Homo-oligomer: A and B are copies of this chain.
Amino acid sequence: MRNICLKLAYDGTNYHGFQRQAEAYGPTIQGTLEKVWEKLVKEKVAITMAGRTDAGVHALGQIVNFMTASRIPEEKIPKAFNSLLPKDIRILQAECVPDEFSSRWSAKWKRYDYRIDNKLIPDIFNRLYAAHEPIPLKIDLMQQAALLMEGRHNFKTFAASGGDSKSFERTIYRCQVYEEDNKMIRVSCVGDGFLYHMVRIIVGTLLEVGKGKTLPQKIPEIIASQDRDRARMIAPARGLTLIHVNYSNESPFEIFQDLGSG
């Protein structure tokens, strides 16, 4: 048996999240990958992913792995997969990794980006890849608030119920807000792990700050409250993209600069 690791990108618009589930909900990324592998080599496999993505969430650098008895050379795997996958999922790389490697448990940190289209009328080409917010946002206030999200905290305030985490302690290495293009705002979050809906709830709170409804100075108190009622807004799925998963021991601070804007 070999342990195969894949890097993949997908447009999550037409998927009901990553995880395999009852067919009634519609196709998932995981189910689609497993079905294509079965077609390719007549073998049922169980695919593990680094970062769970909800329905409608996208990925440019999702990492998955699975054990296989197939002898297909790893360099041929991306092309084989891509020939049968729908156009909104693309395998970017495949690698044979040590048996003990788990895309989920070996991950050191992940980067998720959230894009907000702040134009009055939504940008046609980004309508599926950014959330639309017509109210002009105060980016400087959002930047102040984002800075206060950084660090090791109990993030219970920002965890939706339904997650399976036992601890709410997480480290956010970097939380940055910037205007990447005219009225297109990017929130970039790097952390050692994220709770259920955590990035979308953080962005929901940053949007409240940008609209002037919450003061940036309130963030430490909101975190400390450990009370979901203090952070009720959840930003829509379409704006969120899993950008990168890191497995090395290098500091995210050193690497972060190199990742650019995605």
Residues of A within 8 A of B (CB): 9-11, 58, 60, 78, 82, 87-92, 121-125, 127, 129
Contacts and interface: CB of A to CB of B under 8 A. Distances in A.
A78 to B, nearest CB: 7
16 contacts: A9-B121, A9-B123, A9-B124, A10-B124, A11-B124, A11-B127, A78-B121, A82-B121, A87-B127, A88-B124, A88-B127, A89-B124, A90-B121, A90-B122, A90-B124, A92-B121
**Copies of the chain in the assembly:** 2
A125 B121 contact: no
Contacts of A78: 121
Contact of A125 (B11, B91, B92, B123): B11
A92 B123 CA distance: 10
Contacts of A90: 121-122, 124
A123 B91 CA distance: 11
A141 to B, nearest CB: 28
Contacts of A58: 124-125
Nearest to A125: B129
Contacts of A123: 9
Nearest to A127: B87
Most chain B CB within 10 A, of A78, A122, A124, is at A124
